[in-house]
Amino acid sequence: MEKQPNTTIIALVGKGGVGKTSLSAMTVRLLSEAYPDKKILAIDADPAIGLSTALGVDVVSTVDDIRKSFVQTVEDGNKNAAIELLGEAKYQMFDALIELGNVSFLAIGRPESAGCYCKVNAYLKEIISMIADHFDYVVIDGEAGIEQVNRRVMEKVTHLLLVSDGSRKGLQVVQTIHQVASELVMFDKAGLIVNRMPDMSLLDRLDYGDLKLLACIPDDRDMVLNDLNGESVFCLPESSGIYQGCKKALVELGII
């Protein structure tokens, strides 16, 4: 697989329950439609692995499965086998990729347990970054907060998409995440998406500090029905609120 000179890495973060996963999946869809000749990697960094459902893929193995196999081998006392296994981790990681057209999918899995091997985790993070270098676009569906993206996936992203609903708490959370991200994660551009806005006439009452508002997406019945039916985002009509809002945000950031 050829290494790409300038990989665009987009991380979506925010508090739980604001629709990060749906927006991550829609970002993947919009990129695949805008750039059918480009290679796109979707990374599910949320332990719930909801991005796979939103994209319509079945997870076979995760990065955490690879880590567990190494840790178990060490704990069983077979250090030579562990060293060999770690050397093969890169190939196991590529095998864990699920392909869907010009999109590949990788699930990180559960958070590391107490007493885990820091060197192993650092090595696996390096492999993830190495794999990402072979794609034109990488979309990361992050757990709440930014620390986990930095610790388990990669330290550098090009675009940080902060996702909130219209609540005061949600908007405060994304402002805090943005502040923490400025210290923990290197990024070039950042912006806010307000999702599931119940009343668009209240937009001017939102307090999002100095964050750049990229798009405000109203409550989307199409998205609700899509979730209830267990369908992927590729089934949503282009007229849906989440499609139009997510597209606007990506245009505002100059991604598409």
HEC string of 24-72 equals HHHHHHHHHHHCCCCCEEEEECCCCCHHHHHHCCCCCCCHHHHHHHHHH
Predicted confidence (pLDDT) per residue in 71-127, tens digit: 777 777 776 776 676 678 888 888 899 999 999 999 998 766 555 556 677 777 888
Choice between 152 and 221, residue whose per-residue pLDDT is larger: 221
Q: How many residues are recorded in the chain?
A: 256
pLDDT of residue 207: 94
Choice between 146 and 241, residue whose per-residue pLDDT is larger: 241
pLDDT of residue 49: 81
What does the mean pLDDT of the chain come to? 88
pLDDT of residue 105: 97
Q: How confident is the model over 189-208, as a mean pLDDT?
A: 93
Residue 153's contacts (CB-CB under 8 Å, 6 or more residues apart) are 11, 43, 45, 108, 125, 128, 140, 142
Find the range with the poorest average confidence among 47-56, 80-89, 174-183, 196-205.
80-89
Choice between 98 and 2, residue whose per-residue pLDDT is larger: 98
pLDDT of residue 2: 72
Band the pLDDT of 148: cuts 50, 70, 90: low
CA angle, 52 as apex, 170 and 251 as ends, to 5°?
A: 55
pLDDT of residue 111: 65
- Domain boundary assignment for the chain: 8-252
Band the pLDDT of 5: cuts 50, 70, 90: confident
Residue 176 predicted with pLDDT over 70: yes
Choice between 41 and 202, residue whose per-residue pLDDT is larger: 41
Predicted confidence (pLDDT) per residue in 210-254, tens digit: 999 999 999 989 999 998 898 999 999 999 999 999 999 999 999
Band the pLDDT of 12: cuts 50, 70, 90: very high
Name residue 89's amino acid.
A
Pick the CATH number of 8-252 from 3.90.1150.10, 2.50.20.10, 3.40.50.300, 3.30.70.360: 3.40.50.300
